[in-house]
Structure 1
């Protein structure tokens, strides 16, 4: 057998909760000590695990799913704005990414990094069975991890690029010519089925749970959850009977996007989500009802019970919200209060994906904690650059679940004198009353003008300057509009999701480590309801569970839809949808779009949701509005008048459904075709 050789480090990566050490395997500045044949590598447990670690490292950089705009622009749809390198944001909103544009160097690594990891994972899968240094159970686990990663990298690519080439599972001989290694795109449906089958096999090889030192490694549930998401996307309008994409073809003229609608795809998506639900591995994270607060503790207020409801106020979670704190339940899911091991909602995560070990390869701004630094106000030492759009801010409902109406809300500003008018908030004095009596997820996510930032980790002699202080975005204030600076909020509306009460960047403070919510159980629950809603009433499908142990009858069943949607609404402290909504497929879809906008804000979900539903033109094509940040406090009424964000022109054209194929790949691969609307450089 012809042997291929690689350089391999002698050191062992400390891989578990943190990916910090990944840089050791990518840096060209660190020389390899050993040259080993593949046979030797896969007969040694240490070397095999190092090989696997390389695959994990490629989840970083441009492949992160929640993070700073430098690597994760899809985290910014019509819901938030980044103002660092503002020209890049404006170009991004117009779809000016890729070769030939001013910022062509950005967002280009996902393709090559993913295929490098796919190759590495494939070699491991094909070689590791002969490892005499590992037990059969260890070999099964390692193969399952590699198989999961291989399929996961394809999933990351598909969300950006649509249908992609599937490499041979037996591996590729890179000694062949470029022409022999030129693979065309597979159809989107072929990609979906490949990932689904791979994840099903991975689920058989992976354990059901991990210990505290291995939480970043996938489990059976993670494999099945990704399978459910892949099926959901494959059933969605962008990929299911989309005749507007008939020109997305390979070199032979084969159409890559399904031209015939198939309802059964929704049934398969529902069954796949049901597999995760029936597994019983996950549940929504909740905090118990807090009866009281420590005197003066603004960071952890007592629970504000939602408006009384005769059913939900009298029932414990998940049938109601009587015993939980909806605000704290949602806030603590994201802000670092709870680690992965103690959060039953997180299915897969890069965990605390720090990259400070090697910026040249993994890049700074590569983790959730660094994204938070761009949300924190100037006055707390932050960069003050990520802001929420007014559209997103106004999307949060009132406390009783009714829509917020900008033309019909309490007037004036919060004070002790009007507290009786707003029993469902903890607004500080001077805050605009449009922010009063909103649902709990609003207060966990929105850094509105005049919100209190706790900064409780501040510890030096001047810590009182920031601890539990209100932050104002009026012009002339420390955190307001400033000339000759990027460090002000373009919309005048801050973001508090992922912010822990401890978080502070000056006065001796620090940032709490954050958990990346790459995939969480709430998504599977809501996806289950969505898939069922798309089954025509009267139609029914019988589908086997992933392991063949049972069969599901999949149909438009409002009780099963509630099984998915209701717990998410209860955790949020807002009433469940009525029977009228559940029975009306179009009305339910409207509510679903809204619910996902709120529940999954700033999780890189909306960008893809709007596209797969084919409603991006009317949402991402709208102009971006915010507060009038030119107004100072003496003109505070005018501050809240909606104005278009200056200097940003938005548009959405068909080409923006998919990212452009990178120039290098088009030049290298004679069988690669460009996505519709983008230049192919032939």
Structure 2
């Protein structure tokens, strides 16, 4: 089959992993790479090849390195990044380091930009588009480094072969200068990019909506407490005394971020990027509103190239072998064919509790929801048949929750729409999870979960099919940026500038409406114990932040959002808990058990620079606490 995504044809030409090796050492290769258009395009693909492997739980620290996804504790199969979640970061060989990788990517972007003008057989329009793509990638790789390390050495150009030792020993640039340079690059690139990609083999290339949306997101980072007047970082200075973090809060940064968000929304909507909504028919069946909402929420993540996705990372696919396999419950556990559906990545109870009630407010605020009795149990009735198996006894925690809870979490007794069963008019035929020890989805193996009792349904394509002999996985490129993310960023920025305005409410409510819950200004007065919470900047900030943590759950956003809000030190010092998955009945299963006590300190907001780099370059100063 000739249809392919262009990134998959990359030449795996990774250069030296040494950040300091900025002087090109492959001159003959570079000369050959730009002799004609076809060769230059291969080098363009090489620049894309450094995009992070976001879908890989072994590579993305924001998946298993935080508090949102908890992994089976068996050290023989646990990912290295799970050690990050357990506070075991180090300076000798930092876990999840992007330092060498991103600087290598920046180096190749610079090589491309220096040499593309001499390609003889490329027209001006295409050349300018390629230049814009690579400028964006160069900016994005700088941003990844800033997000991880804070202030970094900016690399505008590669050093020449004749560079002196002193020229190679660069210092870190102040964080405001880093953000300024990143935005300058994106501004240079954004209007030379195409509005959309029409050729299927090039899906995943950078477009105008991608550039505008990432500019907005990056400016929101720059405006957030971690980078905007962060006095915790007052002692981080270069050897010459240069202050690396600004010490004065600037509201102007929030205003610029808000303007960029609105501009990006307009660009995206002009490109027909909008919230995904499932048609009323699916697989030949007419859907109830309940299931239609659930499918809208699930397909917004897993349906390839759907209208909600601004940027999908074709360098990293959710495919067989990752979370879609090892994070999935096995529907044929007695089969003789081992397919590694091990259910060994789960959501901790504190993440489960984050989702709203059916009334669209937090479970500890809802006047009609029994928060203190959430660990007690009762049996599902006919009215819950599309959420919970009728007659099944499960925790009160699982009743009367918002649609995203049921669409994105698998739990004991919960309906799992899929596995070839799509007729919601016959709920008795739909699959449901049985998580207690000895039941089908808990075989008691040291190699398999569940861990907490809550599976990551959101990331598992509902058309995956387990047969007695195999497991067929529908793969999809990792959704790096969705329009719902942008809407919520805009609401956040507007609130920081002017409080809970009508426009801020409008954009958060767009996300809530698709999620099947009431607008903020209806839900809080009607159901919350704090009815006027949304009317103050502080209260509305809490609402927006919780909305982001729910809407973007398990998409590698919480890890970074908590950091930029400076809330990691609170949230990641809370205990990780789950149900007693060794329980054999409802009475013994539904007890909260401690899985791990996390430890997060000030130093953990940023990665350490490795000792090796510091030894080679004494002008680099280490991050605070390391």
TM-score, scaled relative to structure 1: 0.79
Change (3 A) 1:675 1:27: closer
Q: Which one of the candidate residues 323, 327, 349 is aligned to 1:371?
A: 323
Task: Please name the residue that 1:117 is paired with.
Answer: 105
Query: In the superposition, relative to structure 1, how do residues 38 and 290 fare at CA in structure 2: closer, same or farther (>3 Å)?
Result: closer
Counterpart-to-counterpart distance in 1, 2:475 and 2:90: 32
Quick one: distance in 1 between partners of 2:407 and 2:574?
A: 26
1:49-88: CA deviations, max 9, x gaps? 11111111111xxx223431x2112123222202265475
Distance, in Å, in 2 between the alignment partners of 1:122 and 1:662 is 24
Uncovered stretches (5+) of structure 1, i.e. residues with no partner = 1-13, 29-33, 306-324, 355-365, 459-466, 538-555
Superposed displacement of residue 16, structure 1: 5.8
| Equivalent residue, structure 1, for 2:593 | 643
Q: Following superposition of structure 1 onto structure 2, how do residues 158-557 of structure 1 map, counting pairs within 5 Å?
A: 158-169=146-157, 171-211=158-198, 212-279=200-267, 280=269, 281-288=271-278, 290=280, 302-304=288-290, 325-335=292-302, 338-340=303-305, 343-351=306-314, 353-354=316-317, 370-380=322-332, 381=339, 382-404=341-363, 405-408=370-373, 412-415=377-380, 418-420=381-383, 422=384, 425-432=387-394, 434=396, 435-453=398-416, 456=419, 468-480=430-442, 482=444, 485-504=446-465, 507=468, 508-535=470-497, 537=498, 556=499
Does the aligned pair in 2 maintain the 1:179–1:670 contact within 8 Å? no
- 2: CA distance between counterparts of 1:423 and 1:510? 27
Do structure 1's residue 622 and structure 2's residue 574 form an aligned pair? yes
| Alignment correspondent of 1:7 | none
1:426 Cα deviation after fit: 4.9
Q: Is the 8 A contact 1:456 1:501 kept in 2?
A: yes
Matched, 1:563 2:506: yes
Q: Secondary structure at the match of 2:477?
A: coil
Pair 1:81 & 2:70 matched = yes
CA gap of 1:628–1:653, structure 2 versus 1, over 3 A, is same
Q: Does 1:19 align with 2:7?
A: yes
Deviation at 1:274, TM superposition (A): 1.0
Q: Distance in 1 between matches of 2:618 and 2:46?
A: 28
Task: Specify the SS of the correspondent of 1:155.
Answer: helix
- The root-mean-square deviation of aligned C-alpha atoms, in Å, is 2.9
> Do 1:446 and 1:493's aligned partners in 2 also have CA atoms closer than 8 Å?
yes
State the Cα distance separating 1:414 from its structure 2 match. 3.6
How far apart, in 2, do the equivalents of 1:50 and 1:440 lie? Answer: 45
Q: Compute the displacement of 1:24 (Å).
A: 4.3
Q: 1:497 to 1:37 in 2, by over 3 A?
A: closer
The answer as to whether partners of 1:167 and 1:183 remain within 8 angstroms in 2 is: no
**What is the TM-score when the length of structure 2 is the normalising length?**
0.85
Q: What's the offset of the Cα at 1:627?
A: 0.6
Aligned length: 578
1:20 touches 1:353 (CA, 8 Å); kept in 2? no
- Please tell me whether the aligned partners of residues 379 and 394 of structure 2 are also in contact (alpha carbons under 8 angstroms): yes
